[in-house]
Amino acid sequence: MKDSLIVVSGGMDSITLLYEYADRIALAVSFDYGANHNHKEIPFARIHCERLKIKHIVIPLAFMKEYFRSSLLDGSDSVPEGHYADENMKSTVVPFRNGIMLSIACGIAESNGLKQVLIANHGGDHAIYPDCRSEFIQAMDKAMRSGTYENIGIFAPYTDISKTEIASRGKKLNLNYAETWSCYKGGEKHCGKCGTCVERKEALRDAGIEDQTEYED
């Protein structure tokens, strides 16, 4: 039964979740919040939804770029390079991004008679993104259930697993990760140096997947 909505960015994690639970997903939602890489990610989300015959909509959140502070919203030169665990990666936090997106997704889900919202946050995000941690997901799930007549909940099966484990699931699904986007700089090719690029390389390597991503380096 297709009773779910998925928040899908076009990155490795959300595309894996899209395929893994495609039989339950009635609607996919992407958010264009003015990030450097939105124009690269969202077309991949659209491609995969079309293949799976899942309705895909894009919600514009232009106000976030105007009023929020984050290197993801300030141009590619503002995005730090290095590993996700590095202190400078905190500049990539978009304040309460998942809270805003989940709230909107919850309203859309209830408006469409759906029962749950899927999101692909994972264990590797916990170090720097507060709204990806299990405590936040549990609290948001409770708030959504309390605030809807239909008891809309969150399904976040990747919360406590690594990106490598997600890639391993994608490998079993025969996903082509070259048809996803990770780089926070949003150039013509993946930069290969920012936190998401480094994490992408490590996950594909450790999952035993040939990395066919085009990198600048």
Instruction: Indicate the annotated binding residues for ATP.
Output: 8-18
The annotation places the binding site for Zn(2+) at: 183, 191, 194, 197
Dihedral angle sign, alpha carbons of residues 179, 181, 182, 188: positive
Q: How far apart are CA 205 and CA 198, in angstroms?
A: 11
The annotation places the binding site at: 8-18, 183, 191, 194, 197
**For every residue of the chain, which 3-state class applies, written as one string?**
CCCEEEECCCCHHHHHHHHHCHHHEEEEEEEECCCCCHHHHHHHHHHHHHHHCCEEEEEECHHHHHHCCCHHHCCHHHCCECCCCCHHHHHHCCCCHHHHHHHHHHHHHHHCCCCEEECCCCHHHCCCCHHHCHHHHHHHHHHHHHCCCCCCEEECCCCCCCHHHHHHHHHHCCCCHHHCCCCCCCCCCECCCEHHHHHHHHHHHHCCCCCCCCECC
Phi/psi at 117 (nearest 5 deg)?
-115, 125
